[in-house]
């Protein structure tokens, strides 16, 4: 293989790995929020507390992540409890 093909192969591997770990994290967070309704309610209330909350897709943006500290803590806790790397490797 040429160097260009090796680089493309490595990039594809990283993209697949990132997709796999992100998907696993999302499933894990959703699972924990489902089995812990009180925690889920706190996350929902935090999202609703941000102005212009009529459309939640406008609230859950990269720019607003700093305003969603409780959701961030939930994501960190899900990563601590069930890290996606051992599951995907």
80 alpha carbon, distance to own chain's centre? 13
pLDDT at 75: 92
What sign has the CA pseudo-torsion 73, 79, 28, 19? positive
* 88 or 81, greater pLDDT: 81
State the Cα–Cα distance between residues 17 and 80, nearest whole angstrom.
19
Question: Structural domain of residue 57, as residue ranges?
Answer: 3-88
pLDDT tens per residue across span 19-75: 888 888 999 999 999 999 999 999 989 888 876 656 777 777 778 778 889 999 999
Look at residue 89 and tell me whether its pLDDT is greater than 70: no
Q: How many CB atoms lie within 10 A of CB 88?
A: 13
pLDDT band of 17, cuts 50, 70, 90:
confident
The predicted pLDDT at position 51 comes to: 67
* pTM, 2 dp: 0.71
Number of domains in the chain: 1
63: helix, coil or strand? coil
pLDDT at 52: 61
Which H helix or E strand runs over 40?
Answer: helix 37-49
3-state SS assignment for residue 83: coil
């Amino acid at each position: 293989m040429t160097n260009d093909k090796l680089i493309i192969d490595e990039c594809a591997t990283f993209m697949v790995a990132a997709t796999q770990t992100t998907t696993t994290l999302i499933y894990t967070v959703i699972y924990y929020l489902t089995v812990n309704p009180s925690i889920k309610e706190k996350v929902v209330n935090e999202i609703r507390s941000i102005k212009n909350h009529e459309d939640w897709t406008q609230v859950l943006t990269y720019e607003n992540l700093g305003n969603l500290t409780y959701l961030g803590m939930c994501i960190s806790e899900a990563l601590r409890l069930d890290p996606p790397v051992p599951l995907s490797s």
